[in-house]
Structure 1
């Protein structure tokens, strides 16, 4: 069991008493946990298959169609009625004639008067992945119905499945970029503010030059040379995003570097690293945490904007920005615009409320009754 120090206990109590932040954390945790296991929630493969007494997990492993009595060595298309018939009937050859009738008979354990070892499959609640083409008549995008709760996009992919995967992708991208950018930015700002003088002057000139570099042009040039990928976009975003926290951390360290407790620590021979990150950094956390909501919302908006412009993740990725672009291109399908709007509004609102609560919990001047 983790035991918190008295100071952290007070911070946790302050956060708990901030009802908006606390319930936002609970709601966001529930949504994010569900999306973390998106493969178990929305997938065109069964979670578990029982065939002739053996168990298979298609979500985790590749199984050819021949493993279920089929003819092809390629991966089984589990949504195909013939494959479902092979699983249900134990691999009967008659599945290729009338699979739906055989499936109905296999539920009773008897097909054409003969007893069989009926198989079964456990499917996710949403039987579509983010790249699955929905088999529905009509021109795409298709409106919501009992089969596709949020409709389909312009290539007949289930919108709800893409939102689930896209939410996870956006949050993971934001958390990774924010963590790496914060570490680099806090360290750079601490070094500048603590040592000051020539070190601060040189760092400031470097930051001014680097900040003037057009980020969008760099992304366009790199993606014209290198294949687009998640991690390449993370690296580029971190390279330009770490400067967001440098200014506030530098200002707090410049203010505290001449205070008495810092001078006393230096006189006692305490190392610079210990003074900076054990004694001075906690006092600069309030100003740092004040900027985090802006960093997080800016990162999410950057990813969505790049995907909207076509310079973000690959087009096959489940992106909320790409969904927004589809909403713009298909004004006759308002469910796309409403879905993109509410997905971004809920995500950004919850994250801002949470980090506002964290900021106030670290502020010794604020208490909640």
Structure 2
């Protein structure tokens, strides 16, 4: 199903129970979904390729959740309600092998419920209910604790994405993290602490933290730049991948207390090799302009990066290419080592072209209002920010104001 794979970011629709005696699966009925056609140009004559593709406001697949019992051979449909014009974006087994948790989201995506379904009878009850003035982002950051009584959930209801501890009856035990910063990924719980990644120090950086169930937080990996953790099964160790805008990725093994055990790969050879190329300088910067405001009128600075030609001469005038994606929650500006487009932009720099990008309004890791102010008017603020960026660049003494272009892909195309 296109919606679930593309918009809810998953391709697996089946899950084994904790005791491996049952399997829960999703069933998609695409009968009412209209087809889209594309012409494929292969060989001497083109062919038409048709596939199910629901456009905005059209019929989606009708999704059902089922549980198959291996011992009895019996299949039971879970009760997800009478309304079928909804989404069921996540399912997961609780620690009880007979209880399946099902996320139910309305078509407007601003009302999320979690159902506890009896795998033997299909009967269900709502144990979590959240509404939002904008929309609710679906993530994999929900975890059921081993005691079988509580679960962890992230939410933006405070204005920033944070971790909450709930009882399985839906009552809030405690908000575990708090502050004007976003939790960007929850890795899991080791029985004592929740390990997670956050943009706590800067919206363009990521560090690794742990918080216990009393809300006491500690920093695990605080290296400058972007840190991505891969924890061992018991969370005793982690492989940290660290990079910055000027440093290629480094792989290091740490204990969960943040003690370095071993450097696995420092990419020193690659870093030295880079010095033999005539690369342009890529640097982070902040851009201020009265046009960059939140809905309440508060002016904000925009994070940006810029790649200058390697032989940059401030007395000369250079053309500029603005790079944009701009989609909700996404960032093109991070203090992290760049990927494929970096090299293409270095080629442009070799030809005397400056590249620049910003985290426009609507991008992530700066709170809910900054990200969701584009709600119901996609493209408005993002486009305005690109115009403001172009005007800002045109004022720079080293920019040829008559030669400013823009390039984007996907949402930014």
TM-score of the pair, normalised by structure 2: 0.19
Query: Larger relative CO (CA 8 A, sep 6+): 1 or 2?
Result: 1
Which one has a larger percent strand, Structure 1 or Structure 2? 2
Which structure has the highest helix share of the two? Answer: 1
Structure number with greater Rg is 1
TM-score (structure 1 length as normaliser): 0.21
